[in-house]
Chains A and B, each alone.
Chain A
Amino acid sequence: MNRIMSDKKIIAMYTLPALLMILVLIYIPIVLTGYYGLMDWDGIGAMTFIGLENYQNLIADSLFWQSAWHSLLLAVFSVLSLVIYLTISVVLSSNIKGANLFRKVYLIPMLLSSVAIAQLWIRIYHPSNGVMNRFLLSIGIDNPPLWLSDTNLVLFAIFIPILWQYAGFYIIIYYAALRNIPGELMEAARIDGATPFQIAYKIKLPLIAGVIKVTIVLAVIGSLKYFDLIYVMTDGGPNGASEVMASYMYKLAFRSNDFGYGSAVGFFLLVLIMIVTYFIRKLTASKDDEVQY
């Protein structure tokens, strides 16, 4: 039995195809991104080694810092939005009839591609024919905002569809975690006279702390690499007001053919995500850390 189940040839045969794929298509590219970042390269011609020049330029590049700042803002928005999702999930999980139906309905936007969502919300935000401004006009707001062409508003306008898109995703995660809490705990607290609010705050939340931590990491990482929706909705505009790190990288490489500099941005993004993940996990580390991702 043991001999058959530890047959090296078969183990290799079963693992190598997939392993090879992630090595060639994920891990080697990661290393190469760092390497290309040291080059002056237009993607087709010869590469010239320029050392850390790209990274030095990066530090002095105000457009880059602007896009990094926007990514950070999206991350903060996203983490804050988790509070809303969590509140909804606590309500949903408290033996409400039809909870199952509600959480499924909330999930529907998550099924759509970001491109479709972007195209739909471009029209929702349309200054004169969009639902948003026609609604605002109908309730007597005479000068409704221009949303996507307002440099001060655009990032907020982009965040609304993000909030809409991911609601169901996080609600489902929280709901599942909350439903896993043994009922006796809440029963005992209720007998001791705890209010629903106290039960939620003092029993439910601490018990799902691990899951909350996972969602914080997911929300931050997701925001740092946010791309599709912004690329389609505003292409980073107007005037760079909604540019984020991923869209900046994409433009550098595939529009300006500056593959070396683009790689430097890509590598920065990777390192940033690794560091952020590490720190969030460290900061929120708990002893009973059974949840992984």
Chain B
Amino acid sequence: MAQSTTAEAERELLPAEGKLIDKFFKSILYVILAIIAVVQILPLVWLVLFSLKDNQEVFNLPPFALPQSPNWDNYLRVWTDGNIGLYFFNSIIVTGASVILTILLASLVTFAITRMQWKLNKFVLALFMIGLMIPVHSTLIPLFSFYLNIGLMNTHAAIILTYTAFNMPLTIMILLGFYYTIPRELEEAAIVDGCSIHRMFFQIILPLTAPVVATTAIINMIYNWNEFVFVNTFISSDSLKTLTVGIQNFIGQYATDWGAIGATLVISVLPLIIAFVFLSNRIVEGITAGSVKG
């Protein structure tokens, strides 16, 4: 009797002990995960801090000290002195136009590939998917001379067309999985009711894909907003530059004014950070779908 109780107690003790070790182990893991999180955020905290300081404070105070009184005029100065507002506006136009164009064209293609019946659909899909691998740098020189010859150099159109073409493969890839899951009965019913394919696409299928369209829109937006090489190569006129390229030149003039540089950088990254705060789930979803799904 006594023996069995000891055995029982032992049996009970073991899991408890295991839990204790588990807890200890888990807290260590938490600390490590938290340290990584801090490392990921710290450079940005420092950026915001020095965007609110003047040079004297940047160089004399400890890096993570708060400024004695925040220099909001750094922001005002870079916004009014330079073309930041104009660059910002250009980024919105170029990003917005290419996101809309990409999603519209990609949706049409994906619809034709997944829902309609034709022999070459696998081949056409392959053409788009191979596009995923092609490095933009290998196309830069021919594109440069092409735009030069047809008079699109130094226009937003050149940028919008390029973004649309290069974002097409990834966008189709993300849309594809969703389109495959749409039930055939939906189309059959629409056709029986006498609906044309165009109406079916625009009034039934496109609205139905709204969630995945939102995801691709955000992924496209991140890429386009941050793109550098194409704008740097195809746009030389200062009034047409986007934020990414514009701030690069702008910072050159302010090389030694850290507060102004910080403010410029914060302005350039703010829209995406705000988008992230509201839409982080969609971004995470898009990255997962874009890189893993087939």
Do these two chains interact?
yes
Q: Which of A26, A119, A274 contacts B139 (CB 8 A)?
A: A26
A116 B165 Cβ-Cβ under 8 A: no
Asked whether A209 is an interface residue with its Cβ less than 8 Å from the other chain, the reply is no
The answer on a CB contact under 8 Å between B128 and A103 is no
Question: How many contacting A-B pairs (Cβ < 8 A)?
Answer: 266
Decide yes or no whether B111 CB sits under 8 A from chain A: yes
With A26-B139, A112-B226, A173-B287 given, name 5 new contacts (CB 8 A). A17-B105, A30-B138, A43-B145, A107-B276, A108-B273
Contact partners of A102 in chain B: CB under 8 A: 33, 36-37
- B interface residues (Cβ-Cβ under 8 A, vs A): 26, 29-30, 32-33, 36-37, 39-41, 43-44, 46-47, 50, 58-59, 62-63, 105-106, 108-109, 111-113, 115-118, 124, 127-129, 131-146, 161-162, 164-166, 168-169, 173, 187-188, 191, 197-198, 201, 222, 225-229, 233, 244-245, 247-248, 251, 258, 261, 265, 268-269, 272-273, 276, 280, 283-284, 287-288, 291-292, 294
- The 5 A-B residue pairs whose C-beta atoms are closest, nearest first, are A113-B226, A29-B142, A292-B294, A29-B139, A32-B142
The yes or no answer to A4 lying at the interface (CB within 8 A) is yes
**What is the distance, in angstroms, from B70's C-beta to the closest C-beta of chain A?**
19
Chain B binding surface SS class: helix
By a CB distance below 8 angstroms, the chain A residues around B41 are 105, 108
Q: Which residues of B contact A254 (CB under 8 A)?
A: 144, 233
In the complex, which residues of chain B have a beta carbon less than 8 angstroms from the beta carbon of A129?
58-59, 258
Instruction: For chain A, residues 5 to 33, give those with C-beta under 8 angstroms from any C-beta of chain B.
Output: 5-8, 10-11, 14-15, 17-19, 21-22, 24-30, 32-33
- Which B residues touch A274, using CB under 8 A? 133
The answer to the question of A236 belonging to the interface, with a C-beta cut-off of 8 Å to chain B, is no
Whether A78 is near chain B, meaning CB under 8 Å from some CB there, is no
A1 at the interface (CB under 8 A from B): yes
Contact A167 B108 (CB under 8 A): no
Docked-complex contact B134 and A26, CB < 8 angstroms: yes
